[in-house]
C-alpha cells in the first residue's frame, strides 16, 4: 500500500474514534440538568440571564440524539460554550492560554528526549556498571516522584530559601508591565520568543528565570520513561549479530554504540513520543497549578475546582483531538523511519 492510501485509511479510521469521543463527552453532560447544561451553548454571560430561551433554542429538553446533533453542530462551528473561569468562550480561552503551555513544551520536549536517549544509551553501554545502577535508581525514583510535591519542594528551596531566586508566575511584576505596554509587540504570546523578536534582554532573562523550575519539574518526571525505554531497546540491539560484526571489524566502541546500535534502537523510542505528549498534557495541569504559570493546565485545574463544566469538557475534547492527531503523525513517521514496517500491516 502506498503512503497516501495508508494516511487516508488512518484518517478514515479516526472518524469512529472521534465520533465515540464526542458521544462520550456529550453523554457526560447529560448527567446535568438542562439549566446547568446551558453554559455549554452560550457565548456570553448576558445570554445566561435568559436560560429558558437557551433551553428552547437548543432543544435541551428534546431526546438525546436530537440534542447530540445540535451540540455537535455547535462544536463544528467552534462553539464549545462559555468558560466562567476565563470569562470568555471556551475556544477563545484555549487559544489564550495555549502559548504559555506551548512555551513549557518547547523547552521540555528536547530536554526530555535528548537527555533520555543519552542517559539510556550510557546505561545500556555500561550494563551492570555503576553508571547503569545509578541511572536505574534515579529513573525509578524519578517516576515515583509526585509531580506536585517535587514542584513544591523546588519552590521551597529556590524561591524560599534562596530569597526569590526562581519565582513562580510567568513574569515578574515589572516585566509584566513592560510586556503589556504599547512598545512591546506580542507576536506569539510566547514570552521568550517575543522578547527575542523585540530584542528585549531584560524580559528574556526574566522569562527564563520563571521557566527554569516548571521546566525542571516536568522534565525530571518524564525523562525516566524515555531513558528506560532507550536502555532496554539498546540492550536488545547490542545483542544482535551486526554488532558482533562491527566489533570484529575493529570499529571503535563509540562508533558501534552510537551508530550501529543506537540508530536501530531508536525506533521504539519514536513510537512512544505519543506517550510523552500525553505525559506532558497530564503534567502541565499540576506543574502550571503549582507555579501559577497561567497556561491551559492552570486554567483546567481552576475550571475543575469551580465546576466550570463547559471548560472541562471542551478542554478534554480538544486534548483528545490533539492526542489522536499526534498518534497518527507518530505512526506515519514510524513507517518512514523503519522501511520494514509494512503499511498494510494489522493495526491494533
Query: Smallest gap, in angstroms, from Cβ of residue 44 to other proteins?
Result: 23
For other proteins, which is the closer residue by CB, 42 or 280?
280
Provide the CA 194 distance to its chain's centre, in angstroms.
22
Query: Smallest gap, in angstroms, from Cβ of residue 159 to other proteins?
Result: 6
For other proteins, which is the closer residue by CB, 47 or 282?
282
For other proteins, which is the closer residue by CB, 5 or 307?
307
Interface residues with other proteins (CB under 8 A) are 16-18, 20-21, 24-25, 28, 31-32, 136-137, 140-141, 143-149, 152-153, 155-156, 159-161, 163, 232, 235-236, 239, 277-278, 281-282, 285-286, 289-290, 300-301, 303-305, 307, 309, 312-313, 315-316, 319-320, 323-324, 348
d(CA 172, CA 240): 54
Where helices occur in the chain by DSSP H, the ranges are: 3-29, 34-37, 45-48, 51-57, 64-76, 90-125, 130-144, 147-155, 173-180, 191-197, 201-238, 241-248, 253-255, 262-271, 273-290, 296-305, 309-337
Query: Smallest gap, in angstroms, from Cβ of residue 24 to other proteins?
Result: 6
The three-state secondary structure class of 80 is coil
Query: Smallest gap, in angstroms, from Cβ of residue 2 to other proteins?
Result: 24
The three-state secondary structure class of 88 is strand
Query: Smallest gap, in angstroms, from Cβ of residue 235 to other proteins?
Result: 6
Beta-carbon neighbour count of residue 66 at 10 Å?
13
For other proteins, which is the closer residue by CB, 194 or 308?
308
Query: Smallest gap, in angstroms, from Cβ of residue 259 to other proteins?
Result: 22
d(CA 98, CA 293): 11
For other proteins, which is the closer residue by CB, 68 or 184?
68
Query: Smallest gap, in angstroms, from Cβ of residue 134 to other proteins?
Result: 12
d(CA 86, CA 113): 33
Query: Smallest gap, in angstroms, from Cβ of residue 345 to other proteins?
Result: 15
Q: What is the CA radius of gyration of the chain?
A: 24
Q: Are 138 and 178 in contact (CB under 8 A)?
A: no
Q: Are 273 and 325 in contact (CB under 8 A)?
A: no
For other proteins, which is the closer residue by CB, 12 or 31?
31
Cell numbers of 332, please?
A: 506515519
Closest CA to 221 of 130, 290, 304, 286: 286
For other proteins, which is the closer residue by CB, 175 or 296?
296
For other proteins, which is the closer residue by CB, 179 or 309?
309
Amino acid at each position: 500500500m502506498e503512503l497516501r492510501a495508508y494516511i487516508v485509511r488512518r484518517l478514515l479510521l479516526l472518524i469512529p474514534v472521534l465520533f465515540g469521543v464526542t458521544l462520550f463527552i456529550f453523554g457526560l453532560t447529560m448527567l446535568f440538568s438542562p439549566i446547568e447544561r446551558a453554559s455549554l451553548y452560550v457565548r456570553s454571560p448576558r445570554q445566561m440571564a435568559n436560560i429558558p430561551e437557551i433551553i428552547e433554542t437548543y432543544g435541551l429538553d428534546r431526546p438525546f440524539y436530537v440534542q447530540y446533533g445540535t451540540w455537535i453542530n455547535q462544536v463544528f462551528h467552534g462553539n464549545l460554550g462559555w468558560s466562567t473561569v476565563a470569562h470568555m468562550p471556551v475556544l477563545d480561552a484555549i487559544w489564550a492560554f495555549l502559548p504559555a503551555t506551548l512555551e513549557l513544551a518547547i523547552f521540555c520536549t528536547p530536554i526530555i528526549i535528548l537527555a533520555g536517549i543519552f542517559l539510556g544509551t550510557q546505561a545500556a553501554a555500561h550494563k551492570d556498571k555503576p553508571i547503569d545502577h545509578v541511572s536505574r535508581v534515579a529513573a525509578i525514583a524519578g517516576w515515583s516522584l509526585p509531580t506536585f510535591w517535587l514542584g513544591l519542594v523546588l519552590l521551597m528551596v529556590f524561591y524560599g530559601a534562596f530569597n526569590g531566586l526562581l519565582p513562580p508566575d510567568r513574569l515578574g511584576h515589572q516585566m509584566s508591565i513592560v510586556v503589556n505596554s504599547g512598545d512591546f509587540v506580542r507576536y506569539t504570546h510566547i514570552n521568550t520568543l517575543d522578547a527575542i523578536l523585540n530584542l528585549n534582554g531584560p524580559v528574556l532573562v526574566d522569562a527564563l528565570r520563571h521557566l527554569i523550575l516548571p521546566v525542571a519539574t516536568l522534565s525530571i518526571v518524564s525523562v525516566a520513561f524515555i531513558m528506560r525505554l532507550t536502555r532496554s531497546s539498546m540492550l536488545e540491539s547490542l545483542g544482535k549479530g551486526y554488532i558482533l560484526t562491527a566489533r570484529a571489524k575493529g570499529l571503535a566502541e563509540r562508533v558501534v554504540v552510537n551508530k550501529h546500535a543506537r540508530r536501530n534502537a531508536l525506533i521504539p523510542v519514536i513510537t512512544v513520543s505519543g506517550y510523552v505528549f500525553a505525559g506532558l498534557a497530564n503534567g502541565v495541569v499540576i506543574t502550571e497549578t503549582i507555579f501559577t504559570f497561567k497556561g491551559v493546565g492552570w486554567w483546567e485545574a481552576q475550571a475543575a475546582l469551580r465546576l466550570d463544566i463547559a471548560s472541562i469538557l471542551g478542554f478534554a475534547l480538544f486534548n483528545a483531538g490533539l492526542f489522536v492527531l499526534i498518534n497518527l503523525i507518530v505512526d506515519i513517521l514510524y513507517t518512514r523511519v523503519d522501511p520494514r514496517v509494512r503499511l498494510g500491516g494489522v493495526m491494533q
